[in-house]
Structure 1
Amino acid sequence: MSTIAVTDASFEDDVLKSDKPVLVDFWADWCGPCKMIGPALEEIGEELADKVIIAKMDIMANTGIPAQIGVKSIPLLVLFKDGQPVAQKLGAAPKNALKGWLEAEL
């Protein structure tokens, strides 16, 4: 698996203290568009493994960090570099669009 699961408890270590950029996918099991982009994010995680970490946070199981960040709609992708959110993308998109956006932000 090329993505990691992140929780409220592990967010600081897995995302904020990461030496690589981390793309966090805020999602929920009931969210159809979230399920649609899941496989694309897995593939992107494998293809860009040397440049970025893909992390997934279930907003139903973890409410603290999404509330802190202000997640109001999902799927929401937030790119963190050096512990700071630097870019975000709301909604589903085809794999090539997601990958192109991410590469441009890296």
Structure 2
Amino acid sequence: MRESVALAAALRAQMIEDGRGIAALIVQRAFDRGEPCSPTAADVFNELAPAMIFSRLLITGEALDDAFIQHMVDDILLPLMTSATDAPWDLRRSGGTTGT
């Protein structure tokens, strides 16, 4: 990706743009079912899930097994995706303040 602009653009389109659409659909379906979703739920999913998976694959070398996926979803993603407030990084990105 560092040496090929075309490859970088194709991979980013696949991994980022397509991922955003899928995450938005998942969050919308959850919202339609009446499940609590933060305003940034899809963004949280898009930023954290790939990072955790790549870290596991490329850094730690640990397995992407059912226990890891369950931990990632139940202990990390769902609590963040259902929080009532935006995360500070989202507030800074949108020009808001964190209140501190």
Report the TM-score range of the alignment, normalised by the length of the smaller protein.
under 0.3
**Could you say which structure has the higher strand fraction?**
1
**Could you say which structure has the higher helix fraction?**
2
Larger Rg: 2
